[in-house]
Amino acid sequence: MTDGPLIVQSDKTLLLEVDHPRARACRAAIAPFAELERAPEHVHTYRLTPLGLWNARAAGHDAEQVVDTLLEFSRYSVPHALLVDVAETMARYGRLQLVNDPAHGLVLHAIDTPVLEEVLRSKKVAPLLGARVEPDTVLVHPSERGNLKQVLLKLGWPAEDLAGYVDGEAHPIDLAEDGWALRPYQAEAVDGFWHGGSGVVVLPCGAGKTVVGAGAMAKARATTLILVTNTVSARQWRDELLKRTTLTEDEIGEYSGARKEIRPVTIATYQVVTTKRKGVYPHLELFDARDWGLVVYDEVHLLPAPIFRMTADLQARRRLGLTATLVREDGREGDVFSLIGPKRYDAPWKDIEAQGYIAPADCVEVRVTLPDGERLAYATAEDDERYRLCSTSPEKSRVVEKLVAQHAGEPTLVIGQYIDQLDDLARRLDAPVIKGDTTVKERQRLFEAFRQGEITTLVVSKVANFSIDLPEAKVAIQVSGSFGSRQEEAQRLGRVLRPKGDHGTARFYTVVSRDTKDQDFAAHRQRFLAEQGYAYRIVDADDIDGGVPDADGVLPGS
């Protein structure tokens, strides 16, 4: 037994004692292969999963390194069966390889022929393969490269893709030299991606994922297709690229509902690309419109199914996924791994905060009690109606009014899910509202007015969850959300994490109806942020008349 900070358990959970002197070193050592599950105050729980271990293997870590790390930091003896299982799980990665054979083109090559025999008997694999040209080699049609990787991952035999990438159409792109430089972690993320060829970079909201994209483009120096969540995001990407690179306006095209421009750098929205007419996706031809050298997927955790299907055909192109969290509520993290690529860089939110690049945040859950009449309506409602009832209680609106008043003059976002609730809040607060039917032009005008301080309170629907740059937003009040979505919780907190000019703390309030589905979903939504080290304090709505003190007991405005 040693005095290590880690307890390794036979069920593949790792318990890390946060206050141990070696905890920081241990966290950094296990991060490449262990998935953080829970991060309360004193003991953080990690789990070893096949996908996490294969991610590590794809990033260049071998089983010996993982085993040595567990042995070095473990307080007690590590279960031998677990060490064997780690080694054998990681050894499954790369027993099958996709390579370009000089004589045959793209082939599936087996380091271990019995594994090839096993997968060839799968009804899902057989249609994706051609003739067997050697005992250990089978032809693969280039169009099936992505589909084959998806299927093999699900069979537990993830293929190592060594088939390489086409350079695409060359286009000069350099980072602008005007007194700025990539932050150290941004440079590491770009290098990690470029060395791996394709994959995902995970950075907190506000940490500059767009700049990482620009850095990757400067490495590729090729035509680039960028896929984003909405038109406002597309225009923010354009503005950032004009500011950070040598690209000119004529070199950047927008492919959205409003415009259909195809240029050396084209920014397209997921919505327009996945628009379906008469059973077909007419805009998917965009993927073949140019000889793209790089495809960038912003908010890759939101990738729609049609984009996954199209990405299966893009395996010869370099692909960069950008996200604040790889959590997908549909469980398709494996598809991101097989089709976009493994995780190439992941920075814990609190580490970036400690470096001063994102603001610290005080997270508060404000619980309201439904009046008897609302409680009775909730109790007798059908299941599918209950969440709406408890989410849109008028009691919440009264709490929001108090919180906005307490933070008067501070840039405040009120965020919700239900349009009638948001319209009511906009009237109560005498504030503008941005929702799905707000035109792009009007959204841009209101966001700019908020940035300039002309508007201090803005009511927004889920259209503002993603990729909206509001650097001075200091307070967010969440009144309703998409059920138990952890990714949405992370993105909404991200709206207030941009560093503040006064170096102040961001405030993130979630107003929750007590003893309802709302409370249950809130607990689930908060899981990802708890894993990142954010602690939610719970206060009662009746106790906020004098203001909600921050974590240090200081009241707003004092």
Q: Residue 320 in contact with residue 213, Cβ under 8 Å?
A: yes
What gap in Å lies between CA 147 and CA 126, rounded to an integer?
12
How far apart CA 272 and CA 231 sit, in angstroms, is 10
- Give the tens place of pLDDT for each residue, 60-80: 899 999 999 999 999 999 999
Cα separation, 309 vs 333, whole angstroms = 15
Superfamily of domain 359-543: P-loop containing nucleotide triphosphate hydrolases (3.40.50.300)
List the one residue out of 495, 411, 500, 467 whose CA is nearest residue 239: 467
What is the pLDDT at residue 493?
A: 84
> 172 in the Ramachandran plot: left (φ > 0), alpha (ψ -120 to 50) or beta?
beta
Letter string b/e over residues 436-445, b meaning 16 or more CB atoms within 10 A of that residue's CB: eebeeeebee
Prediction pTM value: 0.84
Q: Which of 275, 557, 198, 227 is nearest to 409 (CA)?
A: 557
- Give tens-digit pLDDT for 387-443: 999 999 999 999 999 999 999 999 999 999 999 999 999 999 999 999 888 888 898
Output the tens digit of pLDDT for each of the chain's 558 residues: 568 999 999 999 999 998 999 998 998 899 889 987 776 678 888 999 999 999 899 888 999 999 999 999 999 999 999 999 999 999 999 999 999 999 999 999 999 999 999 999 999 998 999 999 999 999 999 889 999 999 999 999 999 999 989 999 999 999 998 878 999 999 999 999 999 889 999 998 888 999 999 999 999 999 999 999 888 889 999 999 999 999 999 999 999 888 899 999 999 998 888 888 888 888 888 888 899 999 999 988 888 888 888 888 889 899 999 998 877 767 778 888 889 998 898 887 888 888 889 888 889 999 999 999 999 999 999 988 999 999 999 999 999 999 999 999 999 999 999 999 999 999 999 999 998 888 888 988 998 898 888 999 999 988 776 656 666 789 999 998 887 677 788 888 888 888 776 678 889 999 999 999 999 888 888 877 777 778 788 999 988 876 776 766 655 665
CA distance 370 to 516: 9
C-beta of residue 516 within 8 angstroms of C-beta of residue 386? yes
Common-topology check for domains 184-352 and 359-543 = yes
Q: Is 128 helix (H, G, I), strand (E, B) or coil?
A: helix
Q: How many CB atoms lie within 10 A of CB 427?
A: 12
Round to whole Å and give the CA distance between 34 and 13: 9
Query: In which order are the strands placed within the sheet that holds 318-323?
Result: 252-255, 265-269, 224-228, 294-297, 318-323, 199-202, 343-346
Spell out the domain ranges in the chain. Answer: 6-91, 96-161, 184-352, 359-543
- Domain 184-352 is in which class? alpha beta
